[in-house]
């Protein structure tokens, strides 16, 4: 009888121990499904949790970027790189926390590309050197904003168009321009 009680207690403890690693749904979490990356720069430290994505999402990415092998997937989080006004200026719906961000390098540039959970591509962005900006874009900015210096140029691309957000300044006056690939200045802020 004493052995039976000890065996029952040991089994109960074992079952409790197994259950404590389960999540609220009763599923055992997959430790390989995510990892945490901490990045430190001179001015800040950020922590991102990479995630595994569905095959549909992977296939959608592979269709757009067939030669990219090293992709870091994270759940979308607002970023200081892209302000909410930038999404509005572009005319895009801002991703939400159910969406995913793919971070990768291509052609010596860092890219971010956003996808819905179903694998629908929202769009992509990269910072570009002014020598890689189409001539009509540069000509238009220099013609309409004489004496302004070009700052950061960020290229945004979605299913319908390619646009550039260009930061310019002259003295203490700073502006952000949204310019299409043909050089038409769509908005300024």
Query: Can you tell me the distance from the alpha carbon of 18 to that of 21, in angstroms, rounded to the nearest whole number?
Result: 6
- C-alpha distance from residue 118 to each of 7, 54, 60, 73, 182 (Å): 48, 8, 9, 14, 32
The terminus-to-terminus CA distance of the chain in angstroms comes to 81
So what's the pLDDT on residue 150? 93
This prediction's pTM: 0.71
Helix (H, G, I), strand (E, B) or coil at 4: helix
Domains in the chain: boundaries? 33-124, 129-189
Q: Which CATH class is domain 129-189?
A: alpha beta
Q: Which residue stretches of the chain have pLDDT < 50?
A: 1-45
Integer-rounded Cα radius of gyration of the chain:
24
DSSP characters over 67-130: T----EEEE---BTTB-HHHHHHHTPPPP-TTSEEEEEEETTEEEEEEE-TT--EEEEEEEE-G
So what's the pLDDT on residue 80? 76
So what's the pLDDT on residue 47? 61
Chain position carrying tokens 């895009």: 92
Burial class (CB in 10 A: 0-12, 13-18, 19+), 160: exposed
So what's the pLDDT on residue 88? 80
């Amino acid at each position: 009888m004493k052995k039976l009680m000890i065996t029952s207690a040991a089994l109960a403890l074992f079952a409790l121990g197994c259950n404590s690693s389960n999540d609220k749904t009763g599923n055992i979490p997959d430790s390989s499904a995510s990892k945490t990356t901490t990045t430190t720069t001179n001015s800040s430290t950020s922590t991102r949790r990479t995630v595994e994505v569905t095959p549909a999402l992977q296939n959608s990415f592979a269709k757009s970027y067939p030669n990219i092998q090293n992709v870091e997937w994270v759940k979308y989080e607002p970023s200081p790189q892209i302000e909410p006004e930038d999404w509005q200026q572009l005319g895009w719906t801002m991703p939400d926390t159910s969406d995913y961000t793919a971070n990768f390098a291509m052609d010596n540039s860092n890219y971010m590309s956003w996808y819905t959970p179903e694998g629908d591509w929202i769009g992509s962005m990269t910072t570009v050197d002014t020598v890689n900006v189409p001539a009509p874009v540069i000509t238009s900015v220099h013609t309409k904003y004489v004496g302004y210096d070009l700052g950061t140029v960020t290229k945004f691309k979605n299913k319908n168009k390619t646009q550039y957000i260009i930061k310019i300044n002259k003295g203490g006056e700073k502006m952000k321009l949204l310019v299409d690939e043909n050089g038409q200045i769509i908005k300024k802020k």
